[in-house]
Amino acid sequence: MTNLTFPVQEPRLQWAEFFAGGGMARAGLGSNWKCVLANDVDYIKVKCYAENWGNDDLIPGDIRAVSPTVVPDNLDLAWASTPCQNFSSAGMGEGLLGASSSVFTAWWEIIQKKYISGTHPKIIVLENVRGLLKSRNGQDFRTVAESFGFNGYNFGVVVVDAIHFLPQSRPRIFLVAIRDDIEIPIHLLSLNPVQVWHPDDLISAFENLPEALRQRHVWWRLPAPPVMSLTLSDILERDASVWHTAEQTQKLVDAMSHINISKVRNAAKSDSLVVGTLFRRMRPYEGRMRSFTEIRLDGVAGCLRASDGGSSRQMLIFIEGETIKTRHMTARESARLMGLPDDYSLPSTKTHAAKVVGDGVAIPVVQFLAESLLSPLALAGKYSALNLI
């Protein structure tokens, strides 16, 4: 494998996004990539996608109804942010057998039919939660790996946390696969896993694969993560005014554990305003489940979620001396935590906006992967094809 030198004028790369949501992968890939197909079944997300990106290439509806014939041949990239509910720690653990995450199979049937006809995408990215690595004792990760490895792809996985780019803790796995007829530039490969991108649970998942799949696996080399300079305070809307009442705030404080109360007290000793996040969590207590308030005061938000219910909606706490105020995070603040610009059109209903944003992918993470891995791979594929002519 050798390094390739590319001309200055790079061709525009064609791609499709499945389970597109509000088009946040599209925002991250940018103008060097031309989206030629987008699909999602959720009406709220489809409407938001159309408002921000238009609907010329948008195919709304169930992935099971998408014919492989409408998917362009030999795409440079197919991106799939498949539903994560059944892999998430907040789910029931059904994995690929669950109603939401089982659509992976329907999506893969499209890719497989393109493979049979010799027109399958050059690169595929599968994005999901980290729980996929351990779901059903590793069986689901093995099934996904088999899908790629036995259908014409070499593949590698990286775990990228949005915390490297944004004040939000949001680790996600990105399985990046490339057609096995494309030579991989050597500078994109690592001989061994690198802890920041290949943590222990990923290494264990790899080691549990059968030998034939391990032979298909590569360790992608990514540059060192950037130093994140934003804090939670940087993304706040200064004119947000829908505050909880004193009684509502006190109820949240009363539901804190001793450890979390200590955090509040220590913050109150500060000479300046301290801003943090609050979550309502169900935890075991004296033989039953009880709702607790948990607090985070390190300048970073917890992982945004898409639930329509209030229990998992992220809240903010403002501590200044003995004064404590709380409120829910606004839709725009949540969008900023994902790297969305303020001119991105959000649904007017709070729960709808939370669904679009919470189910999305952090935009700077996509940009990072595009610049350091996806674009070089796609261009290597183009110039490999040119060398065969």
Determine the Cα–Cα distance for residues 145 and 331; give it in Å rounded to an integer.
Answer: 36
- pLDDT tens sequence across 334-370: 999 999 999 999 999 999 999 999 999 999 999 999 9
Residue scoring higher pLDDT (318 or 82):
318
Instruction: Please compute the mean of the pLDDT values over residues 322-343 and round it to a whole number.
Output: 96
- Count of CB atoms situated within 10 Å of the CB of 148: 23
The model's pTM is 0.90
| DSSP secondary structure letters along 290-325 | EEEEEEE-SS-B------SSSTTS-EEEEEETTEEE
Instruction: Return the residue matching tokens 């005014």.
Output: 241
pLDDT value of position 10? 54
- pLDDT tens sequence across 207-239: 999 999 999 999 999 999 998 889 999 999 988
What burial class does residue 163 get, using C-beta atoms within 10 Å of its C-beta: 0-12 exposed, 13-18 middle, 19+ buried? middle
Asked if 21 and 359 touch (Cβ cutoff 8 Å), the reply is yes
Q: 307 pLDDT band (50/70/90 cuts)?
A: low
Please state, rounded to an integer, the average pLDDT across all residues of the chain.
88
pLDDT value of position 381? 63
Asked if 38 and 19 touch (Cβ cutoff 8 Å), the reply is no
Q: Does 8 have pLDDT greater than 50?
A: no
* Bridge partners for 168 per DSSP: 301
Record the tokens describing residue 162, joined without a space.
């949005």
Instruction: Please compute the mean of the pLDDT values over residues 124-144 and round it to a whole number.
Output: 89
Determine the Cα–Cα distance for residues 384 and 389; give it in Å rounded to an integer.
Answer: 9
CA distances from 97 to 61, 84, 85, 284 (A): 21, 12, 11, 27
Determine the Cα–Cα distance for residues 327 and 304; give it in Å rounded to an integer.
Answer: 16
Q: 382 pLDDT band (50/70/90 cuts)?
A: low
Q: 17-26, 61-70, 307-316: lowest mean pLDDT where?
A: 307-316
Q: 3-7, 119-123, 247-251, 351-355: lowest mean pLDDT where?
A: 3-7
Q: Does 389 have pLDDT greater than 60?
A: no
Parse the chain into domains and list their residue ranges. Answer: 13-226+361-388, 241-329
Asked if 316 and 249 touch (Cβ cutoff 8 Å), the reply is no
Q: Does 28 have pLDDT greater than 90?
A: yes
Instruction: Return the residue matching tokens 């509806």.
Output: 61
Q: Does 388 have pLDDT greater than 70?
A: no
Residue type, 148: F
CA distances from 91 to 25, 84, 87, 100, 138 (A): 24, 9, 7, 11, 16
Determine the Cα–Cα distance for residues 389 and 386; give it in Å rounded to an integer.
Answer: 5
pLDDT value of position 282? 73
Determine the Cα–Cα distance for residues 335 and 323; give it in Å rounded to an integer.
Answer: 28
Tell which phi-psi region holds residue 322, choosing left (phi > 0), alpha (psi between -120 and 50) or beta. Answer: alpha
What burial class does residue 87 get, using C-beta atoms within 10 Å of its C-beta: 0-12 exposed, 13-18 middle, 19+ buried? buried
CATH superfamily name and code, 13-226+361-388: Vaccinia Virus protein VP39 (3.40.50.150)
Q: 241 pLDDT band (50/70/90 cuts)?
A: confident
